[in-house]
Amino acid sequence: MRRISLVALGLVASASGLVAQDAPVLIQGATILTAADAGKIENGSILFENGRIVAVGPASEINAPSNAVVIDGTGKFVTPGIIDAHSHIAAESINEGSITVSSMVSIMDVIDPTDIAIYREAAGGTTTSHVMHGSANPIGGNNAVIKHRWGADAQGLLFQGAPPTIKFALGENPKRSSTAGTGFPQRYPATRMGVMDVIRQAFAEATEYKAEWDTYNARVSGGDRSAIPPRRDLKLDPLVEILEGTRFVHAHSYRADEILQLMRVAEEFDFRIHTFQHVLEGYRVADEIAEHGAHASTFSDWWAYKVEAYEAIPYNAAIMTDRGIVVSINSDSGEEGRHLNQEAAKTMKWGGMDESQALAMVTINPAIQLMIEDRVGSLEVGKDADVVLWENYPLSSYAKVQTTYVDGEIVFDVDRDREMRTQMAAEKDRLREMLGEGGSR
């Protein structure tokens, strides 16, 4: 059994262009924040091999295999790799904003594995990102979940097995308030009424389309060989998946009223909003969100950049957590995605979250929201070895990453980074020489 799974892992690793590290890695004697039931382990060790966590617990209980690379973790901290539930890095394009329903497009088709943000965020401990379509239209495109396997190709970055998701968007962006008069094309909808209408129309259409397919499938399974399949509609297919509960809605939202209305529209068609994104006024309808069964992914402390962000408060994550919602803190930015640990720490200051609640906001909670919590988001035996070794306490404005591992592979290391700088400087000098001193401006 074990042998088979290791072979399978090996195949995955080679397919993604990565070679699994030969020797097991043991980080010894660190403070380990597991984001799991084990909580915080002082003087703990973590052992990983072939991309998976093999052991995590008190240092005294975990011995180094003879071939292990042993890293002294004394005075240092270990956390799960950070998961960014809302990102726009590593994509060639973000918005198919020319139409109101762009569910036929997917970020998975435009992954850019050369985006340096993949590396820079790994340098801040981020190992998984939900790369989302933009917020230009009420129903946006399909998203991608990637791992920060810097150096892998587009296919190799994809988080295999992550359930499919789709972007919805409410409020000022889809009604194009901010682009009025800027040369961007004007189109329906221009109000929050219109935004809800676009979504309702789309699902009315999708419901009929689904019924056609259900009828057809019933006839086929009933042995009817004369059944003719309905014409495939690539726009409606993902919406049918939503209705069937196999594709999950992540809805960009700000105001409490639009959050409430979207839940009601979804309930009308008997599906659920899986996660509200931004959800800056979620604190005003937290019970309703909890009752609907949605998660919430918000910012730590951004506010006032537009009207619908003027009521944002940094206590939002705490209030929603207290009301029983699974809450994550996301970046929406290639800059913010480099210090989500610090953004999580802000929920301790604003709203009184404890250490494990704060850490969960950027590890296990976003993993739950992306439905990949059996693979990542906490340090538990059998999970992917997405591990961050910190030089100091991670939930701090002084936090600094030493090494980031994805699938047990080093994707960032502070010393290796210095070495690469020297190499890059030398290469630049060599290129300049080839061009002739001073370059050819």
Residues making contact with another protein (CB under 8 A): 116, 119-120, 123, 172, 177-178, 182, 283-284, 286-288, 291, 301-307, 309-311, 313-315, 318-319, 322-323, 334-336, 338-339, 342, 345-346, 348-351, 391-392, 395-400, 417, 421, 424, 428, 441
Question: How far apart, in whole angstroms, are the C-alpha atoms of residue 294 and residue 286?
Answer: 10
CB of 387 to another protein, least distance (A): 19
Q: Which is nearer to another protein, 348 or 410 (CB)?
A: 348
Question: How far apart, in whole angstroms, are the C-alpha atoms of residue 195 and residue 41?
Answer: 48
| CB neighbours of residue 435 within 10 Å | 11
String of DSSP letters for 135-152: SSSSEEEE-EEEE--TT-
CB of 436 to another protein, least distance (A): 17
CB of 242 to another protein, least distance (A): 25
Question: How far apart, in whole angstroms, are the C-alpha atoms of residue 10 and residue 15?
Answer: 8
CB of 329 to another protein, least distance (A): 13
CB of 152 to another protein, least distance (A): 18
Taking the C-alpha atoms of 162, 167, 168 and 170 in order, what is their torsion angle to the nearest 10 degrees?
A: 120
Question: How far apart, in whole angstroms, are the C-alpha atoms of residue 62 and residue 222?
Answer: 58
Closest by alpha carbon to 71, among 24, 31, 27, 30? Answer: 27
CB of 184 to another protein, least distance (A): 10
Contact 140, 170 (CB under 8 A): no
Q: Which is nearer to another protein, 197 or 391 (CB)?
A: 391
Amino acid code (one letter) for 364: I
Q: Which is nearer to another protein, 270 or 335 (CB)?
A: 335
Q: Which is nearer to another protein, 103 or 300 (CB)?
A: 300
CB of 81 to another protein, least distance (A): 17
Question: How far apart, in whole angstroms, are the C-alpha atoms of residue 291 and residue 288?
Answer: 5
Q: Provide the CB-side half-sphere exposure for 434 (13 A, CA).
A: 6
Contact 387, 410 (CB under 8 A): no
Question: How far apart, in whole angstroms, are the C-alpha atoms of residue 41 and residue 60?
Answer: 12
Contact 1, 31 (CB under 8 A): no
Between the two ends of the chain, the Cα-to-Cα distance in Å is 62
Kind of pairing between the strands at 77-80 and 69-72: unpaired
CB of 337 to another protein, least distance (A): 10
Q: Which is nearer to another protein, 116 or 220 (CB)?
A: 116
Q: Which is nearer to another protein, 269 or 302 (CB)?
A: 302
Closest by alpha carbon to 255, among 233, 278, 235? Answer: 278
Structure tokens at 416: 């290796």
Question: How far apart, in whole angstroms, are the C-alpha atoms of residue 313 and residue 350?
Answer: 9
CB of 335 to another protein, least distance (A): 5
Question: How far apart, in whole angstroms, are the C-alpha atoms of residue 224 and residue 391?
Answer: 66
- Cα 319 to chain center, whole Å? 22
CB of 293 to another protein, least distance (A): 13
Q: Which is nearer to another protein, 210 or 252 (CB)?
A: 252
Q: Which is nearer to another protein, 116 or 204 (CB)?
A: 116
CB of 36 to another protein, least distance (A): 23
Question: How far apart, in whole angstroms, are the C-alpha atoms of residue 85 and residue 336?
Answer: 12
Q: Which is nearer to another protein, 251 or 399 (CB)?
A: 399
Q: Which is nearer to another protein, 221 or 440 (CB)?
A: 440
Kind of pairing between the strands at 275-278 and 295-298: parallel
Q: Which is nearer to another protein, 28 or 341 (CB)?
A: 341
